[in-house]
Amino acid sequence: MKMYGNWRSAAAFRVRIALNLKGIAYEEIFLDLDAGDQFKPGFLAINPQGAVPALFDGDGPPLTQSLAILDYLEETQAGVKLLPTEPRARARARSLAQVVACDTHPLYVPRVRTFLSENYSLPRERMLEFLRNAFTSGLKVLETRLSTEEGTGRFCQGDAVSHADLCLVSLWVGTGIFGIETDPYPTVRRIAETVLTLDAVVRAHPLRQPGAPKT
């Protein structure tokens, strides 16, 4: 498979982890989102939204939106299953994944930050305040749910990795990149640290991708 991504992209990170866990060979083409590669006509022809990831599986049209791609991989590929089969457990794993991918991550993507800076002349500190609020709102929900709901186990849903964990770790790594305080979220931390030990996740880690700052 071939994927358009970016080292820092939380959405591309989620998909890289799934590809690695399922043992699918892929090549990633890295766009420079800060330079605006996502808005060049060549890429807009692939994804009119101007966002990564975009995944090509053979000759078919590109697949976009990380959660849709995760579902596609789940439905078409053999290997490790990343959603439980029991309907309630499956719904809970998806619900936790959506807290991150639908309600948290969209608030801090580059196009939102750029829009706010350019249209409201937000000083950098106010912009960081906005970002911090996006992260902490999502982290608070995850912490409350993961620390109180019965379904939580070694991972977000029981003892097997699911889409929820891929999303959780994509948010967690962002806390490091954007300097977000994480002490108030011990359950999120415990699960993220477990997920981060998996080889598939180590290889997919944003800081190990081309273009990432050297640590």
Ligand X SMILES: N[C@@H](CCC(=O)N[C@@H](CS)C(=O)NCC(=O)O)C(=O)O
Tell me if 168 contacts ligand X by CB under 6 A: no
Q: Quick one: 38 or 157, whose CB is closer to ligand X?
A: 38
Q: Tell me, rounded to whole angstroms, the distance of Cα 125 from its chain centroid.
A: 25
For ligand X, the binding residue among 17, 52, 161, 180 (CB under 6 A) is: 52
Among 17, 18, 21, 51, binds ligand X (CB under 6 A): 51
Closest CB to ligand X among residues 72, 190? 72
In the complex, the smallest distance separating the C-beta of residue 53 from ligand X, rounded to whole angstroms, is 6
**Degrees, nearest 5: CA angle 69-70-73:** 85
CB–CB of 15/163 below 8 Å?
Answer: no
Q: Which stretch binds ligand X (CB under 6 A): 2-10, 16-24, 124-132, 139-147?
A: 2-10
Give the span between the Cα atoms of 98 and 173, in whole angstroms: 17
Q: CB–CB of 178/108 below 8 Å?
A: yes
Beta carbons within 8 Å of 128's beta carbon, 6+ residues apart? 178
The residue (of 141 and 154) whose beta carbon lies closer to ligand X is: 141
Q: Would you say 19 or 101 has its CB closer to ligand X?
A: 101
Q: How many DSSP H helices and E strands does the chain contain?
A: 9, 4
Site string for ligand X, 62-91 (x = CB under 6 A): ---xxx------------------------
Question: Is residue 110 a contact residue for ligand X (CB under 6 A)?
Answer: yes
Stretch that binds ligand X, among 8-16, 80-88, 127-135, 143-151 (CB under 6 A): 8-16
DSSP sequence for 163-209:
HHHHHHHHHHHHHHHHT---TT-HHHHHHHHHHTTSHHHHHH-GGGS
Of the candidates 21, 27, 3, the one whose C-alpha atom is nearest the C-alpha of residue 83 is: 21
Q: Are 142 and 188 in contact (CB under 8 A)?
A: yes
Nearest to ligand X of 53, 151 (CB atom): 53
**211 is an interface residue for ligand X by CB under 6 A:** no
Output 107 or 190, the one with its CB closest to ligand X.
107
**Contact set with ligand X (CB under 6 A):** 6, 9-11, 33, 38, 50-53, 65-67, 101, 109-111
